[in-house]
Amino acid sequence: MSARESEQSASLRPAVPWWLVSFGKKIETGSRAQLHLFGDPDKKLPASARADSCEVIFDGALYNRAELRERVGPRSTANDAEVVLSAFRRWGEGALQKIKGIFALIVWDGTRDTLWCARDPLGVYALFYADAGCELLLSTSIDALIRHPSVSNAVNRAALAAHLCHRWPKVEETYFAAVKRVPPGHVIRVDSAVEKVSRYWDVAPPGTAVKWIPDDELERFDGLMSQAVNRCQEMGRPGIYLSGGLDSVSIATEAVDYSRAHGLPIPWALSLVFPEPACNEEAVQRSVATDLGLPQVLRRFNDASGPSGVLPSALEMSRTWPSPLVHPFNPAYFNLGLEGKRRGCEVILTGSGGDEWLALSPFYAADCLRALDVANLCRLAGIMQRSYGGSPLMTMRRILWRWGARPLLRAAAIGILQRVAPDALRAHRRRRIGQATPAWVAPDPSLQRELSRRAEESIQASIDDPASDGFYVHDIRGFRDSFLLAMEFEQEFENGRRMGIPVLQPFWDADLVDFLFRTPPHLLSRGGFTKGLVRHKLARRFPKLGFERQKKVLMNTFYRDILLAEGPNAWQTNGGAPALAALGIVDASGLSDTMAAIFAGTQQSQLYRVWDVLDLEAWLKPRG
């Protein structure tokens, strides 16, 4: 590696220790606002820079550092914060449109008397804040904020109750009442002690026409895909969470090609082997690693989860995490990542995002039905059948009704009722919300009213766009403001913090996402399968592995079996849900009856609630 490449690699390595920024607001005429960075002096802190009355704190990876240095200086060796500082001094807030990378960014400009706090476009890096009166506190760590004496550690009851209803909170909320998140692609602007949160990056703003990629530009995908993987790989030798699916195999292939082209150490393949035959991909995992020449760690899923079992290990981890775990499989992947670190891996790459951006949203069916486009409707049914399997009759039923006629009829009915009978529409919504809320959630009337208010707001927001922007675009645009997706990114960020190596997702690279969002359905599914942009390339690279006809491996049955096998004992060991009940989030008696019915097999459709309840209870109990 050349000296220049070595310097760039060092600059791209993100810092992961906890830190806290205090912005002392102007509280009276003549006082000065101040910015202070606190952290563990024994660990590397974020890059910082100061010039005249402007100060920058930058934590993350700046992808276009060389380009920005060319445009704004300085020409000498400088850290990322100094480059960003020069960009802000030249362009002000417009610099956010020119910075490429993953980051938490804080800028104080005393001349403009303005503070900016920004998070990267897709939220790969975490950034949270708390208003402590005369101070605004910011950190990539929720724990760092709630340990501050001026920040309450009271939990957000409404957010926890909404979680149990699978009606997720607003993206800016966390499970602590005093802590907010900076949403992905947003900036907080504090001017004269007034805070304003606004979006600075949007793959396709609502109300604007999508600039679809023409067929002759599709060749750009390969370059953007390579760039996304290379950006991550420049942080150090990667370990790749390698399943047997198209997404992670695509990442592994790109990483190997880059390593060989640049004379870098070959990545490690890190693979979990699941015990259920329907989701066991060991043969493909081994073959891909062998064909690519990758050293490989293969761990049995149950062994990687821990000796106590899948749910007990996940619940123990959730107790110490800043937010409840998104999924009980996290301990297995965390331990697998540590195996990679022990073998010299400096960054972990995952195939996360492939399902969101390479696949085809089934709500395309509603657009086809509205346009009476029978040919593309039938084509979509065939794509879903070939890519996911299942009964052809069930697939057609879902295409015609669940993803086709139902959203169309719902949007039409709501539009009519909003014009002619808005009161009846509101009453109907309230009835539906009440019916969908489990009887054991929110026995406190005030909390019940808050849940209903939130649900009505969420429903209203969800119906504003489909008719004007199209159901397909509306569905994939929803990834921008997804609370659950923000939680997933932050869980991976916390994994990286605790492992000591970052966990990154090349498919969530902003330049790649911008391209894939604007790739029309017929190009995403070329060849008659989902993920056509990578499927046929992999089929040529690995001709014996059947990627050209591979179906999506689903974990539903395996996950269900774990909940049934380990759920009753975990529920009994916990003694029910006393912490949730003590806060009035659940009715203990009603919840106990529901859990007993689920475990007895009479309410199997409610099985997913087992993890929700156990997870939130485990997380909440140490904080009660």
DSSP secondary-structure letter at 140?
S
Instruction: Delimit the domains of the chain by residue range.
Output: 3-199, 215-357+484-553, 364-481, 557-623
Structure tokens at 68: 């920005």
Quick one: pLDDT at residue 11?
37
Contact call for residues 35 and 21 (beta carbons, < 8 A) = yes
- Residue ranges for the chain with pLDDT beneath 50: 1-16, 29, 465
Quick one: pLDDT at residue 467?
52
Give the right CATH number for 215-357+484-553 from 3.30.70.270, 3.40.190.10, 3.40.50.620, 3.40.50.720.
Answer: 3.40.50.620
The predicted model scores a pTM of 0.93
For 316, phi then psi, to 5°, come to -65, -40
Q: pLDDT by residue (tens digit) across 563-603? A: 999 999 999 998 999 999 999 999 999 999 999 999 998 99
The string of DSSP codes covering 82-101 is HHHHHHHHHHGGGGGGT--E
Quick one: pLDDT at residue 134?
84
Largest CA distance in the chain: 74
* 106 three-class SS: strand
Quick one: pLDDT at residue 463?
57
Same fold, 3-199 and 215-357+484-553: no
Task: Give the C-alpha separation, 284 to 300, whole Å.
Answer: 15
Quick one: pLDDT at residue 34?
79
Quick one: pLDDT at residue 77?
59
Identify the helix (H) or strand (E) that includes residue 304.
Answer: helix 301-305
Taking alpha carbons only, the member of 444, 364, 353 closest to residue 407 is 364
CATH architecture of 3-199: 4-Layer Sandwich (3.60)
Identify the helix (H) or strand (E) that includes residue 273.
Answer: strand 268-273
Q: How many Cα atoms occupy the beta-carbon half-sphere of 563 within 13 Å?
A: 25
* 268 three-class SS: strand
Identify the helix (H) or strand (E) that includes residue 249.
Answer: helix 246-262
